[in-house]
Amino acid sequence: MVTLTEVVVLALLAGGLFFGFVAAVGLVRLPDLYTRAHSASKSDTLGAVLTLAAAAIALDTGADTLKLALLIVFMFITNPTAAHAIARAAADQGIEPWTAADDADGAGNGDEGAAGGGSNAEGDGAVADGGDRR
């Protein structure tokens, strides 16, 4: 028989895995540093915190649970702060954010690859790897 504690731990782990996956997809698919930093700071923080909360609940009470609770607080403070510092440094360096006009002008986002500006050999304008690069 599955206890309520086990159900809560599994739900938190599933949520942590989901948000960790969303963060990884965001880092791969999003077009520029600013949107990638947003994905990493929000989704990855929540995924890690949910996973740590599952571990804290699974360990019941004790010194290890207190350490995990302090780690959760630490992550809530440091992860968004680090992402903000990275985005601020990029802005100070003059890195421009991606806009929809970049795709309309044909500038793209740097993911075109070596296949001639992102088009395939037939010249129909499709992305060489079959993906939609937005």
Parse the chain into domains and list their residue ranges: 4-104
Length of the chain: 134
Calpha distance 109→30 (Å, rounded): 9
Cβ contacts of residue 19 below 8 Å, gap of 6+? 43, 44, 46, 47, 50
104 or 84: which leads in pLDDT: 84
Calpha distance 88→33 (Å, rounded): 11
Specify the pLDDT at position 41: 87
**Per the structure block, which two tokens stand in for 40?**
């990493």
* Residue 27 pLDDT > 80: yes
The pLDDT mean for the chain works out to: 81
Type of residue at 34: Y
The tens digit of pLDDT for each residue in 38-94 reads 888 889 899 999 999 999 999 988 899 999 999 999 998 999 899 899 999 999 999
pTM higher than 0.75? no
Among the residue ranges 7-16, 62-71, 91-100, 118-127, the one predicted with the least confidence is 118-127
